[in-house]
């Protein structure tokens, strides 16, 4: 498994270079928007790339994305993902996703039954 911090730094550097953003090395203390100059869509892209690279999404359940200010915050969010207790919340793998999907499908079936009981039929389509 690649070192999380080095992957985060690599991706942040790459996206900053593509956007021709200001000089300076990527350090954990640097703020993503103020110091480096990223826009929201750049952060969305960085997070999408990191999800593909690391197979983890800390922002779906574990960490509010609005709390991310610095490169260090980003590193910490992903490191938190890989701690033993949090892996399930961050895992974007198929098996975990399928389990969650099955749970939600069951919940959806319960909701559907409830709708039928209160007089709902399926709409035309």
Partner 1 sequence: MTENTEGRKVVVISGGSRGLGRGIAEAMLNDGNIVATFSRSPTPFTKELMKEGRDVFLWEAADGEDSEQLRRFAGSVIRRHGRIDILVNNAGVGIDGIMTLAREADIHRGIALNLEAAIHLSRACLKSMLPQRSGCIINISSVNAVRGHAGVAVYSATKAALDGLTRSLAREVGSEGIRVNSVAPGYFESDMSDRLSEKRLSQIIRRTPLGRLGRVSDIVGMIRFLISEEADFVTGQTFVVDGGLTC
Binding residues for partner 1, per CB under 8 A? 39, 41, 44-45, 48-49, 51-52, 92, 94, 97-98, 100-101, 104-105, 108, 115-116, 118-125
Our CB check for partner 1 shows the closer of 83 and 87 to be 87
Cβ proximity to partner 1: between 1 and 118 the closer is 118
Tokens standing for residue 47? 């997070």
Two tokens, residue 50: 């990191």
The least CB distance from residue 60 to partner 1, in Å, is: 9
Six-digit token pair at 60? Answer: 């779906």
Closest CA to 5 of 66, 45, 54, 44: 54
Smallest distance from partner 1 to CB 71, Å: 19
Which residues are paired to 70 by β-bridges?
31
């Amino acid at each position: 498994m690649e070192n999380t911090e080095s992957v985060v730094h690599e991706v942040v550097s790459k996206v900053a270079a593509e956007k021709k953003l200001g000089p300076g090395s990527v350090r954990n203390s640097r703020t993503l928007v103020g110091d480096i100059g990223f826009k929201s869509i750049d952060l969305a892209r960085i997070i999408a790339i990191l999800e593909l690279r690391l197979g983890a999404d800390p922002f779906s359940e574990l960490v509010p994305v609005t709390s991310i200010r610095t490169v260090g915050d980003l590193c910490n969010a992903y490191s938190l993902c890989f701690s033993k207790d949090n892996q399930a919340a961050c895992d974007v793998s198929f098996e975990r996703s399928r389990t969650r999907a099955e749970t939600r499908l069951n919940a959806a079936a319960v909701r559907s039954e409830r709708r039928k009981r209160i007089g709902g039929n399926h709409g035309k389509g």
